């Protein structure tokens, strides 16, 4: 009979219990034992919830104190030498995840170790800890977490399918330790025996099945990696429970051929991202393999179309028989919030369209029931689902013809500036009269405790809007005055009125709602609450003009208006699934374009449109890059080109490596781009030169991710290095990102140093 499965449940808990527990442990407020007991209770609650929801195959070892890739590193003994002097167990584990600093005394030595690198988990907003391997790497079964958690569930009467990051993905997601040149995949032969050991222990403990996650299978893989798969899995199956290899976030494409030839017991497919792959897989699936169908979206929050999912499952059942079919979410539910139950304040009409993790479990169970015993058995549920979808499709809240008309009638003129850059540059120079090596910042200034307190007072009604307004004005005044004193050339207002760069705009755009408790894990104990874009997006009134204009009134120097770009808004929200992302991006772009035009009308001469997330939206398969870059850059152009030539448009990018999308950055045609480069990556500068980038550029010279104040000399060296690649006339001097996470004293000192650096280069020029 068809069964239902889950691939992973969000770890945090209905009220972010895990976050609170872990943070209390770090602060020394709860003991390790309390931490262990609290998380054990949480795991039990999540297993029971899944069982009570009617899920047949329930995951274990999907729990993590910090990150599942870090868990794998810790379990397989991949602990770089700099952490080996720490206590094994939680101390070294958390040190690898978040660094550890501890003062010493007469008896104990001081500790100061940095965290390992963090990277985005494929194209999600979850970040994993990058494992570090050495050429002489030894592996060992350093802890028994997967077995312990399997037995823990068993002890409360719940049989589970342990989830383990597969060996190939584990190695490919990692890197060599500093100074070593090993390619982690070369270590496979040494790693496999330890996986074997773990799997056979799970089998002895009673596990009949395991889920090995190999998300790298949806990437373009060279032949050598395919061989590595074959090599590893032929060995692993021998002593293992039945192995299901889980793939997600995309399509297998040609990887399906070798995967179906492995002696594994089953394959999981993401049929939300890649529904078209079902047919091709059904054709080649050998008789000994089961197929897990990811028909419910594990990454978004909309109710599924149950009848469509049922059709898909029935098709598979007809092709390979019901015993070989499993109904599942597309990927782990790690990427969706816990439950809609705590959304007590949300608009009822919209709440009716949503399914978070707990609700998705019911969807899975219903699909399974419908296929196993016939739709009549769940008729009421199917009808309720169909009604809800119909209400959503017809809602007047979603569809606004004037917004759609605008997007359907984009003219080529709306995607380009009036004149080419050299002409604009001349006009901007006449207007702004900036010196060589102009200085600016990326936008935000320190969000101090007072700033956050004022916002929370406003929310609680302890401040009237007028009081809050006065408070923010005071902050803007201080900020502008400081920038004048420090001799910065293009000023900003400081973004004190904003909670978050995406949420702030979402709150002011049509078509968005906000959850009360829709948290998803971003990294470690950090959770984010993405806005929900449910309908057509537009801007009904100016959003930032008030503060930019106020700030401009305080100074004769040019004030820079600060906006978040359309692709970043899209990437960091839960996006509606009833139209292509491209259309939503264009709607956002028009809303921002309207704001840009209003800022210009209000006398703001420089406007920055941040796109830190444009690179992370890049599809996982190379073949899909061009299509994405086409519409993403078009959306940026649409947002930024409504102004006269004299108005200087800036953009800002950070968090990633931009070398591989250079032609697209060029096509964005921003007058000035400020870009994260404070680690002095000459590769990036080289790329600007190679692609003969001609617009102005500010590679960051001050690393704002650290409280360190960079010295004048240090920043001078960075600018000097830049000038080997970039012509003097194009270079700006600025930090590498916004300053909101920093404190005032360090920022003041660093920015004074920074303007001094610019002056010294001007003197030489
Ligand atoms: N303007 C934003 C700020 O300064 C940019 C933040 C970012 O790039 N992540 O905070
Ligand atoms: Zn940034």
| Cα dist from 624 to 220, 253, 278, 347, 566, whole Å | 11, 13, 19, 37, 20
Examine the pLDDT at 241 and tell me if it is beyond 70.
yes
Region 679-707: what's the mean pLDDT?
Answer: 86
- Taking the C-alpha atoms of residue 282 and residue 275, their distance in angstroms, rounded to an integer, is 12
Q: What are phi and psi of 642, to 5 degrees?
A: -80, 5
Question: Among the atoms of ligand 1, which is closest to the Cα of residue 740?
Answer: 10
Which ligand approaches the C-alpha of residue 655 most closely? 2
Examine the pLDDT at 684 and tell me if it is beyond 90.
no
Alpha-carbon radius of gyration of the chain: 27
- Residue pair 675/652 in contact (Cβ under 8 Å)? The answer is yes
- Separation of 46 CA from ligand 1 center, angstroms? 36
pLDDT in tens, 612-655: 999 989 999 999 999 999 999 999 999 999 999 999 999 999 87
103-112, 509-518, 715-724: segment of lowest average pLDDT: 103-112
Question: Among the atoms of ligand 1, which is closest to the Cα of residue 501?
Answer: 2
Which ligand approaches the C-alpha of residue 563 most closely? 1
- Separation of 316 CA from ligand 1 center, angstroms? 47
- Taking the C-alpha atoms of residue 218 and residue 247, their distance in angstroms, rounded to an integer, is 7
- Separation of 677 CA from ligand 1 center, angstroms? 14
- Tell the residue nearest (CA) to atom 5 of ligand 1: 738
pLDDT reported for residue 679: 62
Using a CB cutoff of 5 Å, list residues around ligand 2, an ion: 612, 654, 737
610 C-beta closer than 6 A to ligand 1: yes
Examine the pLDDT at 682 and tell me if it is beyond 80.
no
Task: Report the 10 Å Cβ neighbour count for 45.
Answer: 13
- Separation of 592 CA from ligand 2 center, angstroms? 19
pLDDT reported for residue 257: 93
96-105, 389-398, 514-523, 537-546: segment of lowest average pLDDT: 96-105
- Separation of 445 CA from ligand 1 center, angstroms? 10
- Separation of 502 CA from ligand 1 center, angstroms? 10
- Separation of 736 CA from ligand 1 center, angstroms? 9
Share of the chain above pLDDT 70, in %: 99
**Options 85, 644, 691, 705, the catalytic residue:** 705
Which ligand approaches the C-alpha of residue 609 most closely? 1
- Taking the C-alpha atoms of residue 669 and residue 667, their distance in angstroms, rounded to an integer, is 5
Question: Among the atoms of ligand 1, which is closest to the Cα of residue 653?
Answer: 8
The residue written with tokens 């990887």 in the block is 255
Examine the pLDDT at 144 and tell me if it is beyond 80.
yes
Which ligand approaches the C-alpha of residue 501 most closely? 1
pLDDT reported for residue 685: 86
Region 459-463: what's the mean pLDDT?
Answer: 96
Region 214-220: what's the mean pLDDT?
Answer: 97
Region 451-455: what's the mean pLDDT?
Answer: 97
Question: Among the atoms of ligand 1, which is closest to the Cα of residue 608?
Answer: 1
pLDDT reported for residue 729: 93
- Tell the residue nearest (CA) to atom 1 of ligand 1: 443
Question: Among the atoms of ligand 1, which is closest to the Cα of residue 612?
Answer: 8
- Residue pair 730/695 in contact (Cβ under 8 Å)? The answer is yes
Give the confidence band of 707 by pLDDT, cuts at 50, 70, 90.
Answer: confident
The pTM score is: 0.95
Examine the pLDDT at 753 and tell me if it is beyond 60.
yes
Pocket test for ligand 1, best of 738, 739, 740, 751 (most atoms within 8 A of CB): 738
The residue written with tokens 């003097």 in the block is 728
pLDDT reported for residue 608: 98
Examine the pLDDT at 145 and tell me if it is beyond 80.
yes
Question: Among the atoms of ligand 1, which is closest to the Cα of residue 442?
Answer: 4
Pocket test for ligand 1, best of 562, 606, 739, 751 (most atoms within 8 A of CB): 562
pLDDT reported for residue 103: 87
43 C-beta closer than 6 A to ligand 1: no
| Cα dist from 579 to 299, 311, 533, 574, whole Å | 16, 21, 11, 13
- Separation of 579 CA from ligand 2 center, angstroms? 29
Examine the pLDDT at 217 and tell me if it is beyond 90.
yes
Question: What helix, strand, coil percent values describe the chain, rounded to 5?
Answer: 45, 15, 40
pLDDT reported for residue 678: 63
- Tell the residue nearest (CA) to atom 3 of ligand 1: 738
Is 68 among the residues known to form the active site? no
More confident residue, 569 or 688: 569
Q: Give the chain's mean pLDDT.
A: 96
Examine the pLDDT at 657 and tell me if it is beyond 80.
no
613 C-beta closer than 6 A to ligand 1: no
Examine the pLDDT at 656 and tell me if it is beyond 80.
no
443 C-beta closer than 6 A to ligand 1: yes
355-369, 600-614, 656-670: segment of lowest average pLDDT: 656-670
Examine the pLDDT at 1 and tell me if it is beyond 70.
yes
């Amino acid at each position: 009979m068809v069964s239902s499965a889950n691939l992973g449940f969000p770890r945090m808990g209905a009220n972010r219990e895990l976050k609170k527990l872990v943070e209390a442990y770090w602060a020394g407020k709860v003991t390790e034992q309390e931490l262990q007991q609290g998380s054990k209770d949480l795991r039990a609650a999540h297993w029971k919830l899944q069982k009570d929801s009617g899920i047949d195959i329930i995951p274990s070892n999907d729990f993590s104190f910090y990150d599942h890739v870090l868990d794998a590193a810790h379990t397989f003994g991949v602990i770089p030498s700099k952490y080996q002097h720490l206590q094994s167990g939680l101390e070294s584990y958390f040190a690898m995840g978040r660094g550890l600093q501890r003062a010493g005394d007469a008896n104990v030595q001081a500790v100061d170790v940095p965290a390992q690198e963090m990277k985005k988990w494929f194209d999600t907003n979850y970040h994993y800890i990058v494992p570090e391997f050495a050429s002489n790497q030894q592996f060992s079964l350093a802890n028994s977490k997967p077995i312990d958690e399997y037995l823990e569930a068993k002890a409360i009467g719940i049989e589970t399918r342990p989830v383990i990051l597969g060996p190939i993905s584990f190695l490919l997601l990692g890197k060599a330790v500093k100074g070593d040149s090993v390619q982690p995949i070369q270590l496979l032969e040494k790693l496999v025996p330890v996986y074997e050991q773990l799997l056979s222990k799970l089998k002895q403990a009673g596990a009949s099945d395991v889920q090995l996650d190999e998300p790298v299978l949806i990437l373009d893989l060279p032949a050598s990696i395919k061989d590595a798969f074959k090599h590893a899995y032929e060995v692993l199956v021998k002593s293992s429970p039945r192995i299901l290899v889980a793939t997600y976030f995309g399509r297998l494409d040609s990887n399906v051929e070798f995967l179906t030839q492995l002696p594994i017991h089953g394959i999981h497919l993401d049929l939300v991202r890649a529904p078209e792959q079902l047919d091709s897989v059904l054709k080649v699936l050998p008789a000994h393999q089961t197929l897990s169908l990811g028909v419910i979206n594990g990454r978004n929050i909309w109710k599924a179309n149950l009848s469509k999912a049922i059709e898909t499952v029935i098709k598979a059942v007809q092709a390979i028989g019901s015993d070989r079919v499993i109904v599942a979410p597309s990927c782990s539910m790690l990427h969706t919030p816990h439950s809609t139950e705590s959304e007590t304040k949300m608009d009822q009409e919209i709440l009716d369209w949503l399914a978070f993790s707990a609700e998705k479990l019911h969807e899975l169970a219903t699909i399974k029931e419908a296929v196993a015993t016939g739709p009549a058995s769940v008729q009421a549920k199917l009808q309720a689902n169909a009604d809800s979808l119909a209400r959503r499709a017809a809602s007047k809240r979603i569809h606004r013809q004037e917004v759609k008309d605008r997007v359907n009638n984009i003219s080529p003129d709306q995607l380009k500036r009036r004149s080419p850059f050299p002409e604009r540059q001349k006009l901007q120079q006449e207007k702004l009269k900036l010196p060589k090596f102009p200085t600016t910042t990326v936008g935000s200034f320190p969000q101090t405790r007072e700033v956050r307190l004022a916002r929370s007072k406003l929310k609680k009604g302890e401040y009237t809007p007028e009081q809050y307004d006065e408070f923010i004005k005071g902050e803007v005044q201080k900020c502008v005055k400081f920038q004048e004193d420090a001799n910065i050339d293009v000023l900003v207002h400081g973004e004190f009125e904003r909670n978050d760069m995406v949420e702030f705009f979402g709150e002011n755009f049509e078509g968005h709602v906000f959850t009360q408790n829709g948290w998803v894990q971003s990294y470690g104990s950090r959770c984010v609450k993405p806005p929900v874009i449910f309908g057509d997006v537009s801007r009904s009134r100016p959003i930032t003009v008030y503060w930019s204009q106020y700030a401009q009134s305080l100074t004769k120097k040019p004030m820079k208006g600060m906006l978040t770009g359309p692709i970043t808004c899209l990437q960091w929200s839960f996006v509606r699934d009833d139209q292509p992302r491209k259309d939503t991006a264009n709607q956002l772009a028009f809303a921002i374009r309207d704001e840009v035009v209003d800022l210009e009308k209000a006398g703001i001469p420089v406007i920055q449109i941040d796109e830190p997330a444009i690179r992370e939206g890049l599809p996982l398969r190379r073949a899909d890059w061009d299509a994405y870059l086409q519409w993403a850059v078009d959306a940026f152009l649409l947002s930024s080109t409504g102004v006269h030539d004299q108005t200087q448009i800036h953009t800002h990018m950070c968090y990633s490596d931009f070398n591989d999308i250079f032609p697209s950055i060029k096509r964005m045609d921003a007058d000035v781009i400020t870009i994260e480069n404070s680690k002095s990556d000459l590769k990036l500068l080289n790329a600007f030169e190679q692609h003969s980038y001609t617009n102005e550029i500010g590679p960051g010279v001050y690393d704002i991710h650290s409280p360190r104040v960079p010295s004048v000399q240090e920043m001078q060296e960075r600018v000097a290095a830049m000038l080997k690649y970039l012509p003097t006339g194009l270079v700006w001097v600025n930090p590498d990102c916004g300053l909101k996470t920093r404190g005032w004293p360090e920022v003041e000192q660093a920015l004074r140093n920074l303007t001094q650096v610019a002056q010294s280069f001007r003197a030489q020029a």
